[in-house]
Amino acid sequence: MTALDWAALVLFFFCWLGYGPILALIARTAGSLNADMVHVRRAWMTAMTHREVRLLDSQLMGHTINSASFFASTNLLLIAAVAGILFGGEAALRGLAAVGAEEVPVRLLEGKLALIMACLARGLLDFIWSIRQMNYTIALIGSAPEVAEGPDRDAYGQAVAQVLNPALTAFSQGVRAYYFSLAAAAWLFGPLWLAIGVAAAFSLMLWRQEASPAARAIRDARRLIDKD
């Protein structure tokens, strides 16, 4: 590995492992889409406890689980594809040169593919944990008492939200793995492409969290919810 490879790899791990803490730090001062959604989901679960018929809530959760299952299945297929090349022998590895991959020693090429697999595997684990927690949330929605005093209803809604929010946080982390997998795949074409891919993925995710139209709209919605 060249010095440029090491520098790009350090940047990759800094952005991959540091994205969550950096976003949490930014959210303390400027807010973020994820932080705003935590409050929106709490309001949703509190409103759920005040509804006599919770069919809508169950349908929304079912749609969310289907989305997570789709991403998890796709993730597994991508892992299988990368593993097929990684463990397919030198001929399969050298075949990457046909699509423009950088000519490097086989060991380094294996390391690049292993990095892609590591990102995808981490995302798969996040999706699996997300789906499990969503199933716990559905059970809590189904067991919500139909008759209860106001404070009890609100407390139950907050308790359900404490399961739902980590579930969807894990879902977001799984989706984030796709961004970094694409950045890792750029390393196949050289260390400069890896650095560009990481910087682009990191900047795009931060922009979507802080300045995208969706982030601004959800921030406005949170203010209205908090006002009520």
Q: What pLDDT, in 10s, does the model give residues 10-65?
A: 999 999 988 888 888 887 877 788 888 988 988 888 888 888 777 788 888 888 89
**Alpha-carbon span 92 to 162, nearest angstrom:** 46
Whether the pLDDT of residue 4 is over 80: the answer is yes
Q: Which two tokens stand for residue 126?
A: 């996040």
Upper half-sphere CA count for residue 139 (Cβ side, 13 Å) = 7
Q: Where are the alpha helices (DSSP H) in 87-105?
A: 90-94
pLDDT of 84: 82
pLDDT of 126: 93
pLDDT of 191: 87
Give SS3 for 137. Answer: helix
Q: What is the mean pLDDT of residues 185-203?
A: 90
**Alpha-carbon span 153 to 117, nearest angstrom:** 44
Whether the pLDDT of residue 151 is over 80: the answer is no
pLDDT of 91: 64
Whether the pLDDT of residue 98 is over 60: the answer is no
Mean pLDDT of all residues in the chain? 85
